[in-house]
Amino acid sequence: MTPVPDRYRGVWARRLLETPQQRDESSFVRWLQTRLWHADLRIPARTPGTGAPPQLASQQGFCGVTQVTQQAGGEVCTWHRRLDFQPPRAEVDAGLMVFEAPERVIETGLHAPYLEIWERLPDSTGPYIALAGLDEAGGDTQERFLVAGRYAMHVRPRCMAWPPGTQAGQTLLDVMAGHPDMAQDLLDFEISFGTLEAGQWTIEQSTLPALNGACLPFAVARAKAKPAEVSCPGLGELWQVLDWAGQEVLV
């Protein structure tokens, strides 16, 4: 896919969501965008530190590749989700994008009525890295680690597949209600957002609340024609480079 324009790269904080049903200015929402890959985390403000399963099921987040195209009416951004905390959507995730300023963009829905205001965080415009976790045989574990500037997002999907009968457009809460014995396994999906600074990975918010505030030693390096090597507790060691723009060693 064609890399997204430079103006999209970095970390964007959502300041406002408006739909016919709600106005949300309090949820913690971050969208991290590299040249190709994105990761997104959305934590409702009502979710407490160790929330109950129904509250945790209201969280959202996803990871995949991003496509920007010119269509009648303006510039359209489409997020092709490869991994998703919630069940598959019934419609494509795409929005019409209008930049009010280099650090502020307005998104309106193409397949659903909504408006979102995004502002880019300072110090989030480089380097850009996207990594895919590898197992001992070199296979893709589906784990992802993305970096934009001083910010990073770790995505580790649940091990289980969606239960039979899960339909596009359902919510995770719907699925858990039909399979209460699977609730913990269905919630075991990590999307963590935080900062990389002075050799530390500090998690600000996570779909796994126990990780909030964790501060872990971190370093990543790559050599030509070899997997990248990550040193951080709780993360795999070998990673395939999907996207890398910046220094060869990041600590």
For residue range 85-115, list pLDDT tens digits in order: 999 999 999 999 999 999 999 999 998 999 9
Say yes or no: 246 and 132 in one domain. yes
Scanning the structure block, which residue is given the tokens 């909030």?
A: 212
Same-domain status, 139 and 233 = yes
* Alpha carbon distance 120, 102 (integer Å): 8
pLDDT at 222: 85
3-state secondary structure of 93: coil
Q: What is the CATH number of the domain that holds 33?
A: 2.40.128.280
How many whole angstroms separate alpha carbon 44 and alpha carbon 86?
A: 14
List, for residues 163-186, the tens digit of each pLDDT value.
999 999 999 999 999 999 999 999
Same-domain status, 231 and 148: yes
Q: Is 23 found in the same domain as 76?
A: yes
Q: Is 99 exposed, middle or buried (0-12, 13-18, 19+ CB in 10 A)?
A: middle
Q: Looking at the domain assignment, is residue 60 inside a domain?
A: yes
Q: Measuring CA to CA, which residue among 213, 211, 176, 164 is closest to residue 55?
A: 176
Instruction: State how far the Cα of 162 lies from the Cα of 166, in Å rounded to an integer.
Output: 6
On whether both 215 and 132 belong to a single domain, the answer is yes
Total number of domains in the chain = 2
- Asked if 97 and 157 sit in the same domain, the reply is no
Question: Quick one: pLDDT at residue 48?
Answer: 56
Residue 182 inside a domain? The answer is yes
Give the Å distances, CA to CA, from 44 to 14, 27, 90, 244.
12, 4, 22, 31
| Mean local confidence (pLDDT), 38-57 | 83
pLDDT, tens digit (0-9, with 9 covering 90-100), for 4-46: 999 999 999 999 999 999 999 999 999 999 999 999 999 998 6
Q: For residues 84 and 223, which has the higher predicted lDDT (pLDDT)?
A: 84
The reported pLDDT for the residue numbered 124 is: 96
